[in-house]
Structure 1
Amino acid sequence: MQPDPLSSTFAALADPTRRAILARLALGETSVMELAKPFDMSLPAISKHLKVLEHAGLISRGREAQWRPCRIAPVAFREVDGWLGNFRRFWDESFNRLDGLLEEMKAEEAAKVTAKASPRKKSKVRVTKEKQRGRTRG
């Protein structure tokens, strides 16, 4: 049984060398030789990484005479972005609720500080009750 496309994509993205190759290809198409330069590995090893990326639909390879350019294939990235979009919405909504709660807490704290800073005035009910008990002067 062959894995679903999203599983192949994530498996391909799991390797740091392949992610570095994709980062380079995000700058524009280039040859296998250019892609191999920053890595301390053989051309066959780089080719294996490219095959994994190609199988996952993350890159495409062409043939133009002697030049075999590699380029990003955006379709697989759109699928990943679509799948991650659900989680992005979840986290955005969660952070928005958290922001609202923090703002409420800040407002409550500011109200407490303001209440402590201003002199307390006795309410009319309290003053009346104190007079009835004879606790006030005057």
Structure 2
Amino acid sequence: MGDKITSGPFFIPLFIDGTSNLPVDRLLIGLKNPTNQTKTVCVTVDRCADTIFPTTAPESTILNQQVTLPSEHCTVLRIFAGPTTFQGDNMLRVTVEGDTDKEAEGIEVALFGGNDGRPTVTMVFKHEDFIEVDED
């Protein structure tokens, strides 16, 4: 499908910061097409449930969504926490494949996790924080 970038693995904290009891209740994946052409990507979010070595857990896909954006358009994919999506202490990895790359010649990506607009610092990723996936 084209270029592939990833957030790499990151953990969902139990609470959005050390001073509140607000759990992380959503993950937002922002997509922006700053180019003058329509672009398409496939967004995948994979989850590993919390396990401690030597125990292991299989990875499961909680989102696999194709998105087509016209020139100069944007959208946000939203995933709410829950037993079939993610919970605190889970590990997630967001991958975007298609018309995107690190040089932003395609769709740009941003992640935000938190609770009702309050961010969890460890779950904020700007486009430049993503890494290219080399599948050679």
Q: TM-score, normalised by structure 2?
A: 0.19
Higher helix share: 1
Q: Give 1 or 2 for the bigger CA radius of gyration.
A: 1
User: Which has more strand, going by share of residues?
Assistant: 2
Q: Which has the higher contact order (CA 8 A, sep 6+)?
A: 2
Question: TM-score, structure 1 length as denominator?
Answer: 0.19
